[in-house]
Amino acid sequence: MTDDMRRKTAVVGLGATPYYKRGESAPQTREELAGKAILAAVADSGLRVEDIDGFSYFAGGFDTGYLMETLGIPEVRFSAGLTGTGGGSAGCVGLAAAAIVSGQAEVVVCVGASQQGRQRFGTVTSSYDASPETAFFAAAGLVGPGHMFALLARRHMELYGTTRDHFAEVAMTLRRNAQRNPAALIRKPLTREDYFNAPMLADPHCLFDFCLESDGAVAVIVTSAARARHLRQRPVYVLASAQGGEASWGRSIYWMNMPDESFASSGHYSVARRLYQMAGIGPHEVDVAQIYDHFTSQVLMQLEDYGFCKKGEGGPFVADGNISYPDGTLPINTDGGQLSCGYVWGMTHVREAVEQIRGTAVNQVAAANIVLVTGGPSIIPVSGLLLQREP
């Protein structure tokens, strides 16, 4: 049964802290940021904090006992997370849905937070403890994900003729979305000239190909569809969620031995296929997409892996204006994305997807019925999520 999860659960609460530039959330702690987002999400839903009985995480998550202790949650029945890193940001909502559908919990919090005052993500790889595995990339001076994903971007350019103008199109499109979003951290106009004048950080990635380094927390509350219909907000149904990936992607950027057909990709191909299969839809039925944009080049590769265009055609697809709001065939990252709005390990994308379904987004897509959220292209597991308005 691949359709067991379909529309049986819904996101009923949404909460977030403001987005802060790197380090500016201090002296708040990371747990405090998460707590604020959770409390805001509970208030938004109309539920009580005491109703929470589950936590679903990704990228290491949080100490559930500490969150219970500080928030006054009497008992949890489910506390789990997707392994890996940012790849699980979309899939943690699917994990919450799985817990609810299987009867293990009823009101599950999904929460993510980032705080980069001590360790910026731009150099996070260099902070990893030395291990036999890290020895095979650390010696090369790959100190951050931006250096590693540049290797995939270069290969994509070589194989398919992708250009820096294509990357620029992603950056400029999302900046235009951010300019209309008061919550976005960067709202200055971004011209093609600005893009090409920017410092090259890891060729072919320049400054504007990198996401922001920011602080903040986002939480959503997931419960059963039946219960959702009696709560305060319009239910945002979990249509489908998939996670994992193929061995040929595996440790990806820490391995670099992916076969040629998947090296210059986002690693999402098999997850995307399973996601659509579970949902019973195809890519043409997605109205808006929130694509994990740690790097512009990876937006192109996800557009390909999720079937919005053919393999290798991500560049021409964005050049043709397809991802623009409001007139493109597939507006993406309507809040401005991680490139211009804020970076909270992909949870901003979950937030914006919920806003689109509710009809409360700043850049609202009029007919937003099905919204795709992707988790970060990274080591396995990667993940995807489809949310849907009331059928």
Judged by CB, which is closer to another protein: 112, or 145?
A: 145
Tokens of 100: 């609810």
Judged by CB, which is closer to another protein: 205, or 349?
A: 205
Cβ 94 vs Cβ 5: under 8 Å = yes
- Could you tell me how many residues make up the chain? 391
Q: Minimal distance in Å, beta carbon 160 to another protein?
A: 12
**In the chain, what is the straight-line distance between the N-terminal and C-terminal CA atoms, in Å?**
21
307-to-41, 100, 259, 281, 298 alpha-carbon distances in Å? 33, 30, 20, 12, 14
Q: Minimal distance in Å, beta carbon 59 to another protein?
A: 21
Contacts of 316 (CB under 8 A, 6+ apart): 166, 309
Q: Minimal distance in Å, beta carbon 8 to another protein?
A: 37
Q: Minimal distance in Å, beta carbon 314 to another protein?
A: 17
φ/ψ of 381, rounded to 5, equals -90, 145
Tokens of 69: 């202790």
377-to-101, 305, 315, 371 alpha-carbon distances in Å? 27, 11, 18, 18
Judged by CB, which is closer to another protein: 153, or 240?
A: 153
C-alpha–C-alpha distance, residues 92 and 381, integer Å: 11
Judged by CB, which is closer to another protein: 263, or 345?
A: 263
Contact residues for another protein, defined by CB under 8 A: 122-123, 126, 130-144, 147, 150-152, 154-155, 158, 199-205, 247, 255-257, 263
The residue behind tokens 């093609």 is 192
Residues taking part in catalysis? 292, 343
Judged by CB, which is closer to another protein: 150, or 353?
A: 150
Cβ 81 vs Cβ 58: under 8 Å = yes
Judged by CB, which is closer to another protein: 1, or 130?
A: 130
Judged by CB, which is closer to another protein: 58, or 295?
A: 295
Contacts of 130 (CB under 8 A, 6+ apart): 138
Any bridge partners for residue 295, and if so which?
A: 210
82: how many CB neighbours lie within 10 A of its CB?
A: 26
Q: Minimal distance in Å, beta carbon 149 to another protein?
A: 9
Q: Comparing C-alpha atoms, which of 264, 293, 284, 341 is closest to residue 170?
A: 293
202-to-20, 137, 139, 145, 251 alpha-carbon distances in Å? 25, 16, 17, 10, 21
Is 176 exposed, middle or buried, given 0-12, 13-18 or 19+ CB atoms closer than 10 A? middle
Q: Minimal distance in Å, beta carbon 128 to another protein?
A: 11
Q: Minimal distance in Å, beta carbon 259 to another protein?
A: 10
Q: Minimal distance in Å, beta carbon 306 to another protein?
A: 23
Judged by CB, which is closer to another protein: 104, or 248?
A: 248
Is 119 exposed, middle or buried, given 0-12, 13-18 or 19+ CB atoms closer than 10 A? exposed
